[in-house]
Chains A and B, each alone.
Chain A
Amino acid sequence: MSEPRRVTFPHMGDYWVAVKSIAELTGCEVVVPPRITRRTIELGALNSPEFVCVPFKYNLGNFIEALDRGANVLCQVGGGCRFSYYAEIQETILRDLGYDFEFVRFEGGGSILEIVREFRDKAAPHVSMARVAACFWHAFHMGEAIDAVQDFIRKNGGFETAPGTMRDIEARFLHELEGAKTRRYVDDLLGDTLALLRAVPLQRPERPLRVQVVGELYVVMEPFSNYRVEDELARNGVEVHRHLDLTTLIRNSISYRSHVKEMQRHAAPYVTYHIGAEGTESVARTLDALRGGFDGAVHLKPFGCMPEVNAMTAMQRISREHTFPILFVSCDAQAAETGLRTRVEAFVDMLRAREAGLINA
């Protein structure tokens, strides 16, 4: 290709800020795909296989929009289920659509360490390994900052006296993070942001409702794809907890085997064997929430997600045997925000009624 290489990657939540920094710091030109809109998912769904899971459709939509903006190097990773086969089929579909591009697939076997090496070999061969590793480390640090800020907002955003204040602070934080070149800058920014967040006036009940969010990684982390269910829970005055975020996922992937075994121990006796991707983890975290005195759980997955449907059988049994409320949400390409809003409101009402002792079941 004689043109300059312009790298792009699919969106997931706000992590594009961190991913973009890896590419930029290693000297690549980056085309960040436009933010996910209805158009993205419509483009993706139009060109995807009929009953593939919905992250495939979002990713494909991102790629098409980025290609239309001049990107010519597409990056895709892989995971423990159908995700591992996304790259090849997406490449086939995009070539059939007539696009000209280079496709970089990071196999990595789910391990970030492998991905670092592959990134250097495939995307930035002129840069030293040490420099690439440093860039990844910096991006990981940015990811941690994003996770820390968003975790705080999930747990406290429901009790703001002026709703929306925290999201404004978050937006400013992300904007400034985009220019972060050094670790110190990230640390300072995180410190300032958390101080601002802590200063937001809250009206917090003595014992707020606590809900654990579990499920498939993409729809959990991409708010557009889960109809912003976490914001919806917060709007109803719920403290939202979530184990799964990008940096946790990366940490777990480094110690994959021991993590799987630990999750199996947590998920016993409902899961004997690993049931794929985040399936075992969903069951384990639901049980943790039950033991930790949470009021309920929300399970998010793309329609037909294999590991999460496996997990659902166990979670339904947990819910039945321990009368533990779980809201199951299946996400697909249609817009269903109003329907979801009604379900979340009804779910929270039910939690409150249980809390007040109005219903026993």
Chain B
Amino acid sequence: MLVCMAWAATESSALAIPAFARKYQTSCQTCHIVFPKLNAFGEAFRLRGYRMPGETEEMVKQPPVSLGAPAYKKLWPQAVWPGETSSSVPLAVNVEMADVNASSLNEDGTVTSVKNDLQFPAEVALLGAGTLGEHVSYWSEVVFGEKADGSVEAEIEQARIGFDSPFGPEDLFHFRIGKFTPNLAAGLKGGIFVSTDAGIDSFFGYNPIGVNGGTGPREMTPAPIAIPGSVRGIEGYGIIKHRALWVAGLVNGIGPSAGGNFDGNNSKDVYARFDYKIGGMGLDGDTGGQPYVPEKNWRDNSLRLGVFAYRGDGSNIDFPMTLEDGAERHMQDVNFLRTGVYANLFFQDLNVVGAYLHGTDSLKAFDTESGALMRAIEPNWHAWFTQADYVIYPWLQAGFRYETVTPADVSVPSLRTGVFNVSALVRANVKLMVEYQRDMREGDNHSLNALLRFVF
């Protein structure tokens, strides 16, 4: 089941942005190892609000259009605070084409197989990103996916504005407002991975709802209550003394509501994270006063450690279910807590990353008609993964990932998945990827996919 749904969630929110290559007249390799995976410089660029470490005007080859002379700052509030916009439309296009081969074991014991389903294209994404003067940045991402019946689904993956270092020491305070991938998920999702998955299924797709707690990752409505890969809300983050990263967010949480609101209830979820990086380039690109002259742009001998937590409130959000007596009930995850640790090691051409996540839920089942409380349980579950990527050549990288989730429902054995990936850059902005995934509990669940992806 885990494997067969893999292609439903191809890479997203983890994109290379040729608009930046145009702005700086630089190669994708400046920020990416094998796109979208970021190198240390690219991570600093991302965290700094899409500004290069130590950026000067001469580094920007496409000078922005002035929306007010800087001297207007002296006149505020009698004048509009001056800003800038891009001199060319900062758009980029990402196209993915996939050849899907998959096998999945059905509940009735039969096996469904797909052979060479040519999803040409599987997805087209339109991206816009850049800066609006000194302290403002933005990112927007609309993804178009064509379904087998020819219909097209469009989704706003991200649309946000950032306020970067509006006060205080540089990079100590950044704020993001909108829909975005939270920095809670940095390193777990997005720009770090080369694999076809958007992230780690166990972390982002786990469904905790069940008679005896959750049974594992699966699609659900409303959205899964694991940790979110995308949020609507406000996030603050910053870099302390080049090495530490703080993150705090206030977001809608589970949604949508039965009434159609984005927020499933009137309560907000909160999250926090703290990372520290030992060795290598600083999180803000600091090099200790030494010139940045990487012989190999992917190397950054360092260890980054992090802790994170997410507290959610799912009260008054109903998930339909059936108890053992066959009666229709609805269940609420009244409140839930996710805590985890994260580690990311770069050593020469090897990158090993992993994380552990522990989840606690407070589940209450109510009678659908009377609303009476029928059951209350507080199940726990946990998941972890580790992934090793190795750069064989600057254009070729191999990776292996193992992930497992131990569901709260003890009747369900732990899910274990192995992923082997080879990614090759045909050009700096054209990538060919072959990936094999296998459910290590059930041999009939596996897939072998090829992906061709290009951005321009």
Q: Do A and B bind each other?
A: no
